[in-house]
A = this chain, B = another copy of it.
Amino acid sequence: MKAIVNISLKAGVLDSQGKAVHHALDALKFEGVNDVRVGKQIVLNLAQTEKEKALAEVTEMCESLLANTVIEDYEIELIS
């Protein structure tokens, strides 16, 4: 089973990487960009085949390692 974890900074947390990308897009004359946020996407290939167990495992991985839950949100998508 494949798990896709999207990790993004919480709303209100300064996203300096996003600001830098926004600035670079402006410099390259791309207009009409209101906001840019940069996050991480982690793709895990799991041996687990049961969806519920996989979700529980990946949630624990996010809480303990993958995401900094003080400043980041995470979303888990499972593809069997």
Contact = CB atoms under 8 A, between A and B. Distances in A.
B34 A45 contact: yes
Identical subunits present: 2
Sorted nearest first, the 8 A-B pairs with minimum C-beta distance are A32-B47, A35-B45, A34-B45, A39-B41, A41-B41, A37-B43, A38-B42, A32-B48
Q: Which of A6, A8, A60 has the most CB of B within 10 A?
A: A6
B47 A8 contact: no
A65 B28 CA distance: 9
Contact of A66 (B21, B34, B43, B65): B21
Nearest to A34: B45
Interface in A26-69: 28, 30-48, 57, 60-61, 64-66
